[in-house]
Structure 1
Amino acid sequence: MDASSSPSLSEESLKLELDDLQKQLNKKLRFEASVRSIHSLLRDRYSSSSPSLRKQFYTVVSRVATVLKTRYTATGFWVAGLSLLEEAERLVSDASEKKHLKSCIAQAKDQLIEVDTQPTESSQGGGYLFEGHLTVDREPPQPQWLVQQNLMSAFASIAAGESSNGAPVENALGETASLMQELINGLDSIIPEMLEDGGPPRAPPASKEAVEKLPVIVFSEEMLKKLGAEVECCICKENLVIGDKMQELPCKHTFHPPCLKPWLDEHNSCPICRHELPTDDQKYENWKEKEKEAEEERKGAENAVRGGEYMYV
């Protein structure tokens, strides 16, 4: 359904449509169309929406910004996203939401400026074939591991040629020595790259902004009755008493603020359940986002197999 032709949608129907559009953002071929639909709904329905629906609009728009930063970097995607972000920033009234959207708008503009100021290449031969489609961009440089692999193949070919073709010894030795030197020079760059690809990156500390926003609650008699007299701060192991100030993580686990701070200065997760807080490390956040999407794709594939979608007779 075209979003612009459905002004009479009930809020529940609109929430379902926004949920569906948010899922469509993960499909590259549907991204721009989904952003346009979200933009149309935002423009037509936001002002008359309930607080909960406004919150959902903000969540979906924030997701657009996240996908742009972590997955889709083509100029057309950024242009569509920037238009949506500017519309949302104009409509929202919550100060924290407006601040976040302004930050996203600045990042989008920086990205577009960076693209505009890149040195222009000759238009002839600029594209390359990728998955059967001619792209408009230059072919990306080969990763170091592939360069090294090609050098090893060339080295093996020369070695085989020496024994079978009887090539002049001085020529073969010179070519072999040159390739060996290139391999040695490349080791410094390929080994760290291989180590980085070997597993997940080390989790950085929690974002300072996220830590500052953690609520502080006062341990009450009601909480004592609910949790029991032996309840303790799991970091310092002291029993909690009525009147203690406790800092609450999003997972609802609580700790003494002086105990929690050193932990979050080095970690980004709850000491009990490992629920993660945001970090200031964009590289780690990008990795986490890609891992989440990969997990969703794995689950989708498993569900499809269980449902028989990929079974053939």
Structure 2
Amino acid sequence: MASKSEEDLKQKLTDLQKQLGKKQSFETAVSSIKTLLLESYPSASPSLRKLFFAVISRVSTILKTRYTAPGFWIAGRDLFIDAECLMSAPVEKDHLRSYISQAKQHLHELENQLEGPELAAATSNRGYLFEGHLTVDPEPPQPDWLIQTNLMTALAASLTRPVSSEGQQEDPSTSDVTNNLMQQLVESLDNTIPMIFEDGTGGPRAVPPASKEVVANLPVLDITEENITKIDKDSECAICKENFVVGDKMQELPCKHKFHPQCLKPWLDETNSCPTCRHELRTDDHAYETRKEREKEDEEERKGAANAVRGGEYMYV
């Protein structure tokens, strides 16, 4: 007998399948199906796995009979690829390989038909759900950390699947799913780990030193009998661990933490971060600053998109 959570999941899949027939909700429904697939398929019962395959097959059917826009086919292709990695039944894998091939062929033909601005306009016309609204720009690629998090979540679900009274898993194909997920995670980590090293030296990627201009403009305060009362009597420089006393100087970082200037300068030269809260100061390395800002924006956009998609899913529970 299926658990209530599994029955709820089946109902959610059924509702998402209905949304596939509406052009304005197709891509959002496919994205939600993909999320449920990664989270739930490894530990799903045989009947739930069959429903997943049926819903995914429905995506292929609707694409072939109703839609030609590249955004729809890209969403479908990505879903088919993930499903093919998870599903191990030979018949299902054959069908999924066929779906992937058809999607790639359709996109290739479309690319040949369109040129220049027409192709750019067609391929960019696939917004994604962000803060409850469909954006104009395409969804940014998932960052490595999110891909690895999804893989680890799916792998954990597969490894913790309940066993039968004989001590064997209910579905032999579960081991194949686990192996596929493990391989994908290893490949993802293989691609990511080299990026945390710099110049092949084997050392961690260093943060460039703080901008000399920024450090020079940090406010310095003389501690006098008058202002010592505004400082906590137990306040200390977090670098040298000495309490501030009358006659000392304090230098304040943008995060409002204060240190002895003679302690702070060598610390910033080596680490460029607040010893208390790890706040980084601006550097003179343009490439580093650009990359850091881009990573911050990508993470904020991904979180907003994920929250919006989850909010849309809850509407159908």
TM-score range, shorter chain: 0.3 to 0.5
Higher relative contact order (CA 8 A, sep 6+): 2
Give me the TM-score of the superposition, normalised by structure 2: 0.35
TM-score normalised over the length of structure 1: 0.36
